[in-house]
């Protein structure tokens, strides 16, 4: 079988890589062509475009890069036609993927969507396009099943959350060797996860680093995104207690004492590593003003959304400042608070189901063609 996979972000690259591994097991003759990143490329297949060329953050940024986006869509259609896949697998990235899904459906190409667009957060009217253009939807958040099936009468399959697989597959870390290799001392580590795009990293890190001198007993380590060069981060390394580690977020989280995390998939990753965290978000003024008028969710972090209550503190826009961040970081360093948080994290993991999301999804896709 020939599979065409489209993942447009770092998280999609991670989940796409694990899905590809399982596809090759379920279908040893698989031919895979994909949009993704270095993790997917390491598995095999043919990389068409790297997600670094695709990631634009926020409403204003999308508008500014609209010509590039439209050119990418046009190129993608031509590439799919040349490859003639038996199925297209979309991984999140809805603004781009739903356009391709509509086009693919018109040409009779089977469409599989792994990791649903978050239409429960905004753009719920996309359900019409999903019901029309998506043949099979594989969801990873437990509350999405009721949203699709009870509210919108659209059958979906809950496959579990792929982060559980990704974290379980992370090799054990030799902490002493890791510290030595990365010039870290013996003090507890506070991990800083500022995101993967330049716009958000610049906004987030300046505030995150403003609390460094208030916590002399700790060392702060920036988790560098694989999509960015070290030269971009150098401007933020202005303290001897601030370190930088690139493309080693999971090893870092496995030994972190606490974390300051930009809203997104990383908030859930941090929780599954059982690291106390403060969730942070600050967008461009125009993008934020638009977003707050159309998104009606009670929370922005996946941790709180899944648990349907405030488990981790969220500092959003103007609330994300030095004073508030200092106070919330102090709270998650308190032993009693940490113990309660870890119990909540255990409950969160139970809600997400067991391991096997990549295996489940790959086998369901392959079996669909063997009926």
The predicted-structure confidence for 260-305, as pLDDT tens digits, reads as follows 999 988 999 999 999 999 999 987 655 555 555 555 678 889 999 9
- Residue 285 is predicted with a pLDDT of 52
* Confidence band for 65, pLDDT divided at 50, 70 and 90: low
Domains 2-160+356-369 and 170-351 share a fold: yes
Span 330-338, average pLDDT: 97
Q: What share of the chain is helix, strand, coil (3-state, %, to 5)?
A: 55, 15, 30
pLDDT above 90 (res 4): yes
Comparing 86-95, 236-245, 354-363, which segment has the lowest mean pLDDT? 236-245
* Residue 199 backbone dihedrals phi, psi, to 5 degrees: -60, -45
CATH entry 3.40.50.2000 includes domain 2-160+356-369: yes
Give the pLDDT score at 197.
Answer: 81
Quick check: 336 pLDDT over 80?
A: yes
Least Cα distance to 284 among 8, 51, 56 occurs for 56
Per-residue pLDDT tens over the stretch 166-190: 898 888 999 999 999 999 999 999 9
Question: Above 80 in pLDDT, residue 94?
Answer: yes
CA triple 160-282-38, angle to 5 deg: 50
Q: Evaluate whether 76 touches 35 at the Cβ level (below 8 Å).
A: yes
Residue of 6 and 55 predicted with greater confidence? 6
**Mean per-residue pLDDT of the chain:** 91
Q: Residue 362, CB half-sphere, CA atoms under 13 Å: how many?
A: 22
The domain spans of the chain are: 2-160+356-369, 170-351
pLDDT at residue 214 tops 70 = yes
Q: Give the pLDDT confidence score for residue 203 in this predicted structure.
A: 87
**Residue 342 pLDDT exceeds 80:** yes
Residues 115-171 have pLDDT tens digits of: 999 898 878 999 999 999 999 999 999 999 999 999 999 999 999 999 998 898 888
CA angle 76, 86, 31 (to 5 degrees): 80
pLDDT of residue 297: 73
Measure the CA–CA gap between 6 and 14, rounded to whole angstroms: 12
Whole-prediction pTM: 0.82
pLDDT band at 199 (very low <50, low <70, confident <90, very high): confident
CATH class of the domain defined by 170-351? alpha beta
Percent of the chain topping pLDDT 70: 93
Alpha carbon separation from 68 to 63, 227, 261 (Å, rounded) = 10, 18, 30
């Amino acid at each position: 079988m020939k599979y065409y996979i489209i993942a447009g972000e770092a998280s999609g690259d991670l989940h796409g890589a694990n899905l590809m591994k399982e596809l090759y097991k379920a279908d040893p003759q698989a031919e895979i062509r994909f949009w993704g990143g270095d993790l997917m490329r390491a598995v095999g297949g043919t990389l068409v475009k790297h997600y670094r060329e695709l990631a634009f953050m926020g409403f204003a940024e999308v508008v500014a890069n609209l010509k590039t986006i439209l050119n990418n869509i046009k190129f993608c259609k031509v590439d799919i036609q040349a490859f003639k896949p038996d199925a297209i697998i979309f991984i999140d990235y809805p603004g781009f993927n739903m356009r391709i899904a509509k086009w693919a459906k018109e040409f009779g190409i089977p469409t599989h969507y792994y990791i649903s667009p978050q239409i429960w957060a905004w753009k719920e009217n996309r359900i019409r396009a999903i019901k029309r253009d998506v043949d099979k939807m594989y969801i990873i958040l437990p509350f999405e099943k009721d949203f699709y099936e009870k509210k919108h009468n659209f059958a979906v399959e809950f496959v579990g959350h792929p982060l559980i697989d990704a974290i379980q597959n992370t090799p054990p870390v030799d902490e002493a060797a890791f510290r030595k290799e990365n010039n870290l001392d013996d003090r507890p580590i506070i991990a800083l996860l500022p995101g993967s795009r330049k716009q958000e990293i610049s906004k987030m890190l300046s505030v995150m680093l403003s609390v460094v001198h208030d916590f002399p007993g700790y060392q702060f380590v920036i988790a560098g995104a694989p999509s960015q060069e070290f030269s971009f981060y150098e401007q933020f390394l202005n303290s001897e207690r601030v370190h930088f580690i690139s493309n080693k977020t999971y090893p870092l989280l496995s030994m972190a004492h606490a974390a300051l995390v930009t809203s997104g998939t990383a908030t859930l990753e941090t929780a599954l590593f059982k690291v106390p965290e403060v969730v942070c978000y600050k967008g461009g003024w125009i993008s934020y003003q638009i977003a707050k008028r159309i998104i009606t969710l009670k929370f922005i972090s996946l941790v709180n959304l899944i648990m349907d209550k405030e488990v981790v503190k969220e500092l959003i826009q103007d609330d994300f400042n030095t004073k508030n961040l200092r106070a919330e970081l102090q709270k998650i360093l308190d032993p009693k608070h940490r113990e309660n948080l870890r119990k909540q994290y255990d409950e969160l993991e139970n809600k997400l189901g067991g391991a096997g999301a990549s295996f489940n999804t790959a086998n369901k896709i392959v079996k669909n063609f063997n009926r």
